Amino acid sequence: MYVYYVLAALASLFGLQSLLNGRRFVAYVRRETSRPLPDFTPFVSIIAPARGLEPGFADNVRPLVGQDYPEYEVLFVFDEPHDPAIDIVKGFAAKTVISGPANGTGQKVHNLIAAVREIDPRCEVIVFVDTDARPARDWLLKLVAPLSDETVGASSGYRWFVPERGGLASRLRSVWNASIASALGADTAKNFCWGGSTAIRRSTFERLNVVDRWAGTVSDDFTITRVLKEAKLPVHFTPNCLVASVGDCDFRELVEFTTRQVKITRVYASHLWLPLMLGSGLFCTVFFGGIALLLVNRSIPVVVILAILFLLGAAKSFIRWRAISIPLAEHKSKLNQDLWAHVFLWPFASLLYFYNCVVAGFSRRICWRGITYELKSPTEAVIISREPA
């Protein structure tokens, strides 16, 4: 039991630290969302890579062509001319780019490279967005605003999963993803670009040769983040651009998505993988191991330890949920239905993280939008197989 108590003390300390980080996240969100926007509206090129017709596609991409922004263009990029989603975007005031199949790089990255070559000469800012995100009408204005400071390398938001019909798997995915969102904040050294909502000055993008650095990669956002950090340019997290990703998943899709994310992290940001595995492993050992101990022998100290750990995590989950309700106010009713999941399911999200990390330690093969990749290194990806869009 002595070893268990030592591990419990460490887990409690990390839990307290996590709660304090959560409070800092809340303060940052409130501060940033109340700040007036600068008068900065350069011409923007929005690039939206797509493959296949996913649920909610039309509702997700429609706001892209209806932004409250003076001058901008939208480029939808597909690898196949017969992609079923093309029929939907044809009705929008947007460009359609056909990139062709990728060879030696990720299809999404290949699409982005093809689209960058087609942007308007007037473009001053390039914005990358995913088609599973559903931005608000003022999303572009708020995403570009931090770039008025020329010392900022990039401005980035992040996703927040909003279950549509509900279900345990969908809600657990939202809880799993939430801990990543709250890792962002005022510390620009720890921030990262999320490919679903990132803005970067065209001059910065070209000066850092991002297209060349994308060669052989699958992760567009991890690569941009690395390039910016090498250039000592900060990434500004923009809470106003926390974007709803509306939809549901089953448990197979949940495990596939979360494991893919951690496998990508393992390859492109290996310094994050080991602490994540050790941290989630420590918590699971103490929390779920404590529950197992109680089944064998009732112990008041163990009950107290479990209560402390659970309350620390539940408190952080609650204040984080309160914070994201500010930028995602239009989804308030759905978020209200999700509150119980964030308060009670977070231990299982930690268990899922541990599983993801263990699997990522033994495999670098992922399936993404019907294409299977083997991630050899941060600069080498091999396409194993591909299905039609």
Instruction: Label residue 93 by pLDDT band (50, 70, 90).
Output: confident
Tokens matching residue 170: 């969908």
pLDDT at 310 over 80: yes
Instruction: Label residue 387 by pLDDT band (50, 70, 90).
Output: confident
pLDDT at 389 over 80: no
Tokens matching residue 191: 């921030």
Q: What is the pLDDT of residue 212?
A: 95
Cβ atoms of 383 and 105 closer than 8 Å: no
Hey, how many other C-beta atoms are within 10 angstroms of the C-beta on 18?
18
Instruction: Label residue 230 by pLDDT band (50, 70, 90).
Output: very high
pLDDT digits (tens, 9 = 90+) for 374-386: 999 999 999 999 8
Q: What is the pLDDT of residue 20?
A: 96
Cβ atoms of 264 and 219 closer than 8 Å: yes
Mean pLDDT of 244-267: 96
- Pairing of β 44-49 and β 125-129: parallel
| Long-range pairs of 328-337 with CB within 8 A, sequence gap ≥ 24 | 328/160, 328/162, 328/242, 328/244, 330/136, 331/162, 331/244, 331/246, 334/162, 334/163, 334/164, 334/246, 335/162, 337/163, 337/166
pLDDT digits (tens, 9 = 90+) for 115-128: 999 999 999 999 99
Length of the chain: 389
pTM above 0.85, yes or no: yes
Q: What is the pLDDT of residue 163?
A: 95
Q: What is the average pLDDT score of the chain?
A: 95
Q: H or E element: which one contains 376?
A: strand 371-377
pLDDT digits (tens, 9 = 90+) for 287-304: 999 999 999 888 899 999
Question: Rounded distance, CA 278 to CA 300, Å?
Answer: 27
pLDDT digits (tens, 9 = 90+) for 316-343: 999 999 999 999 999 999 999 999 999 9
pLDDT at 268 over 80: yes
pLDDT digits (tens, 9 = 90+) for 138-175: 999 999 999 999 999 999 999 999 999 989 999 999 99
Question: Rounded distance, CA 273 to CA 306, Å?
Answer: 26
Residue listed under structure tokens 């780019």 = 97
Q: What is the pLDDT of residue 232?
A: 96
Q: What is the pLDDT of residue 200?
A: 98
Instruction: Label residue 46 by pLDDT band (50, 70, 90).
Output: very high
Mean pLDDT of 50-77: 94
Q: What is the pLDDT of residue 244?
A: 95
Instruction: Label residue 283 by pLDDT band (50, 70, 90).
Output: very high
Question: Rounded distance, CA 326 to CA 365, Å?
Answer: 38
CA-based nearest residue to 158, from 300, 388, 35, 324? 324
Give DSSP secondary structure letters for 307-343. HHHHHHHHHHHHHHHHHHTTTTGGGHHHHHHHHHHHH
Mean pLDDT of 52-79: 94
Q: What is the pLDDT of residue 2?
A: 87
Question: Rounded distance, CA 349 to CA 346, Å?
Answer: 5
pLDDT digits (tens, 9 = 90+) for 170-205: 999 999 999 999 999 999 989 999 999 999 999 999
Instruction: Label residue 345 by pLDDT band (50, 70, 90).
Output: very high
